Structure 1
């Protein structure tokens, strides 16, 4: 059995580059694309608030579309890919999933956000690389 490789995927250009790299370089390995549903992007509705529930539902529907996009790329390459989604702070979701699932390597785009949001929120790739003890390849 090959390696277990995790690719955080948010449908950004850098995430596509990371996924395509994995599909090229690790086609025979066990590949998983993970989408982190960031509660900070659900809006400011309080839990139980109808507005909060609406944003959460929209986030889950968007996540389904993002996972379908990753699967479509893998299908183009003819490579088997598992897709998952987890809610939480993206760097925490990625590192926890890696720990819980015996991931051997993470391949991540250099950044999914751009401009001010990236500066304010920091780089998920950088946080992941600092938090895990497995190899992290940063693409882009």
Structure 2
């Protein structure tokens, strides 16, 4: 059995590059594409709050579209992938998923922030690389 490789995917250009790299380099391995649904992007809502429910529904729909996009890329390469979507802070979602699913390697795109934005916002890829004990390939 091959490696278990995790590819975080948000449908950005960098995520596409990371997925394409993973499909090229690990097409024979067990590839899982994960989308982290960040609650900060859809807002927090108390149970029963219709605005919160609206944003949650929109986030689920966007996640489904992102999964469809990832599957389309994998189909172009003739590679079967597994997909997952989890809610939470993206770096934490990736690290937790990797830990709980015996992932051997992570291939992740870098959003290429630099300067002040990088200092203030940090980098999901860098956070993931610091928090896991498995190899992380960052595609820039």
TM-score by length of 2: 0.93
> Equivalent residue for 1:62?
62
Label 1:98 to 1:76 Cα distance change in 2 as closer, same or farther (>3 A). Answer: same
> Equivalent residue for 2:91?
91
Cα RMSD for the two superposed structures? 2.0
> Equivalent residue for 2:40?
40
Quote how far apart the aligned CAs of 1:111 are. 1.9
**Unmatched segments (≥5 aa) in structure 1:** none
Label 1:88 to 1:113 Cα distance change in 2 as closer, same or farther (>3 A). Answer: farther
Deviates more, 1:113-122 or 1:39-48: 113-122
Label 1:15 to 1:92 Cα distance change in 2 as closer, same or farther (>3 A). Answer: same
**Unmatched segments (≥5 aa) in structure 2:** none
Label 1:26 to 1:77 Cα distance change in 2 as closer, same or farther (>3 A). Answer: same
TM-score by length of 1: 0.93
- SS of residue paired to 2:52: helix
Whole-Å Cα distance in 1 between the matches of residues 45 and 114 of structure 2? 25
Q: How many residues are paired up?
A: 140
Whole-Å Cα distance in 1 between the matches of residues 40 and 115 of structure 2? 17
Whole-Å Cα distance in 2 between the matches of residues 82 and 114 of structure 1? 32
